Homo-oligomer: A and B are copies of this chain.
Amino acid sequence: MQLMREKGAAGGGLRERKKRATRAALAEAAVRLAAEHGAEKVTVEAISAAAGVSVRTFFNYFDTRDDAFVVIDADAGARMRRAVLDAPAGLSPLEVLRGALAAELAEAEQQHELWRLHAEVLHASPHLLARGVGAHMAAEAELAEAIAERLGDAGGGIYPRLLAAVAGTAVRTSVDHWSAHQEEAAFLDVFHEVFSLLAAGLPAPPA
């Protein structure tokens, strides 16, 4: 019952640290139990017991049982926003996103082991995969805003939202492909290949 990368806001009082620890313990217990028994077989009671809290407390941390499998990094949106706004002026919006996402993902990949387990669990039940998408959509909306802001008057139409949505899709597709062909390629290589395809307008591959 520990772990914690203390990513965004570190430290704080004992209270906050305990909250973080409890949340992390619940999330980790959920993923490990799901990896072992299958997500559908894992009850809230089991997760709570494994994390050493009551069922009622589980629901103080997650609105839904499934939320425990889907880990949302609430600070990611804000970080990406800054990355988009601070990027060099010369870059195209797509290049800006490629950079911001690559940086974010490189960091996430350090938690390699738990990340893999995660991907495994989500992949095993499409139901949860969809929920993961939902979790990303809030971040995508924030991304779209940042892009629109960066573009100024030119960002009034559908372009920012499309770009953010496509970028999110690119990430998910990359993760999906990588987790199915883990031995063949490094994740970031897959990711960059995907963005190259997007930048080229998704041309037909050579026969």
Contacts of A153 in B (CB 8 A): 207
With the chains together, A27 CA to B177 CA distance in Å?
34
For this complex, into which size category does the number of interface residues on chain A fall? 35 or more
How many copies of this chain does the complex contain?
A: 2
With the chains together, A173 CA to B194 CA distance in Å?
19
CB pair B200 A201 closer than 8 Å: yes
The verdict on A99 contacting chain B, using a C-beta distance below 8 Å, is no
Which B residue's beta carbon lies closest to that of A141? B126
Q: Choose among B93, B168, B177 the residue that contacts A158 (Cβ–Cβ < 8 A).
A: B177
Which B residue's beta carbon lies closest to that of A133? B133
CB pair A152 B207 closer than 8 Å: yes
Q: Choose among B127, B151, B177 the residue that contacts A204 (Cβ–Cβ < 8 A).
A: B151
